[in-house]
Amino acid sequence: MTPRWSNRRRDKQEQRVHEVETQATFLLPGGYRAPDGELHREVELAPLSGREEERLAHCEPSTGGATLTMLLTSCVRRLGAVSPVSSDIVRRLLIADRHYLLLKLREATFGDRVQATVQCPWEECRKKVDIDFSLHDIPVRASEDKGPLYTRELSPAAAFSGERGEQYREVTFRLPTSEDQEVISHVVEDNEAQALALLLARCIRRLGPLHDPGPEVIHRLSPLARMEIERHLEEAAPQVDLTLAAYCPECEREFAVPFDLREFFLAECKTSCDLLYREVHYLAYHYHWSEQEIMTLPREKRRKYIAVLAEELRRVSHAV
Ligand SMILES: [Zn+2]
């Protein structure tokens, strides 16, 4: 039986459930260049709700990239003039823009503080080190030139030789996207040099007089030329620096550690479907909200209502 007090509050609570969705609005450090050439930078992002958690519970843990694409596609409500935003567009975002969206999604869902554990990298120590930081402290650099194409000159030593010995130094490229990252991800672990060559083949649009030079030409680039082009790519791209400075109290050494925010966030989000459905049932039973309404609540909000409800039920049962 529904306790009497919940009926008394029903109107007020029903009114509130529609107001809780809070969206964050911000600019991407790079931006999405649509096929018509227009640049879209302003994002409207909603926090994670029960709907995404339900889908997340069914995802394989090994498919982190695809899972994040699914979450972002669902939570990015608008990108400039583009709405809805398809998974293809999310995949074509610049790498730093995707990192930035992940940062913002984490903040919208759980707040900006991150408490995590990393491992001390020193071979003889390897102790677990607690880190505690704010997402606001992560350095973000917007790109000045929004491209989409960039032309740079290689040093004379890095010049590319044509078939008759001509020397070419001008290179035109676009910036890498998460789609590129996805494609090269299976190569990166085995062979970093090959992964870079594959990435360059996708991003380089012109080398001297050669348009879309392709993997064979890229293969003939000297290691110095590849290194210079990689540096130009990095300098032109927006940056989200997820390298953290940490201190190990055990061996008293400082170290820098790349923080895998994606893995951390996906682990935080993972709720079992069982628990999710029990929470939905609990709220539906006492507040008389529909399943649809409860599943669209951001998770923190849902948990807060559950905590308030549990407290109230405790008080009622003590009063009896
Ligand atoms: Zn240590």
The Å distance, Cα 239 to ligand 1 centre, comes to 29
Cis upstream peptide for 298 (omega within 30°):
no
Distant-in-sequence, close-in-space partners of 72: CB < 8 Å, separation ≥ 6: 90, 98, 101, 102, 105
Cα 232 from chain centre: 23
**Average pLDDT, consecutive stretches of 10 residues, N- to C-terminus, the chain (320 residues):** 37 43 86 94 92 79 79 94 95 95 91 90 92 93 94 95 88 95 81 87 93 88 93 96 92 91 85 82 90 87 89 84
The residues, any chain, with a CB within 8 Å of residue 159's CB and separated by 6 or more, are 167, 168, 169, 225
Q: Please tell me the distance between residue 245's alpha carbon and the centre of ligand 1 in angstroms.
A: 13
CA of 257 relative to ligand 1 center, distance in Å: 12
Instruction: Find the 129 Cα to ligand 1 centroid distance in Å.
Output: 8
- What does the pLDDT read at residue 10? 42
* Count: domains in the chain: 3
Q: What is the structure's pLDDT at 61? A: 65
Return the H-helix or E-strand segment holding 215: helix 214-219
Contact 45, 63 (CB under 8 A): no
Q: What pLDDT does 163 receive?
A: 80
For residue 111, the CA-to-ligand 1 centroid distance in Å is: 29
Predicted confidence at residue 26, as pLDDT, reads 96
- Asked if residue 276 lies in contact with residue 53, where contact means CB atoms within 8 angstroms, the answer is yes
Q: Return the pLDDT at 59.
A: 72
Q: According to the model, what pLDDT value does residue 20 have?
A: 45
145 Cβ contact list (under 8 Å, min separation 6): 236
Q: Last residue of a domain, which of 237, 260, 294?
A: 237
Ligand 1 center to 246 CA (angstroms):
10
Q: Are residues 136 and 254 both part of a single domain?
A: yes
- Hey, what are 29's tokens? 């450090």
> Is 4 inside a domain boundary?
no
Give the model's pLDDT for residue 176.
96
C-alpha 305 – ligand 1 centre gap (Å): 42
Q: Quick one: 155 and 282 in the same domain?
A: no
Taking the centre of ligand 1 as the mean of its atom positions, its distance from the CA of residue 115, in whole angstroms, is 18
The alpha carbon of 114 and the centre of ligand 1 are apart by a number of angstroms equal to 21
Centre of ligand 1 to C-alpha 153, Å, is 43
Residue 33 and residue 167 in one domain = no
The pLDDT value given to residue 100? 96
Task: Indicate whether 8 belongs to any domain.
Answer: no
Range of the domain at 300: 271-319
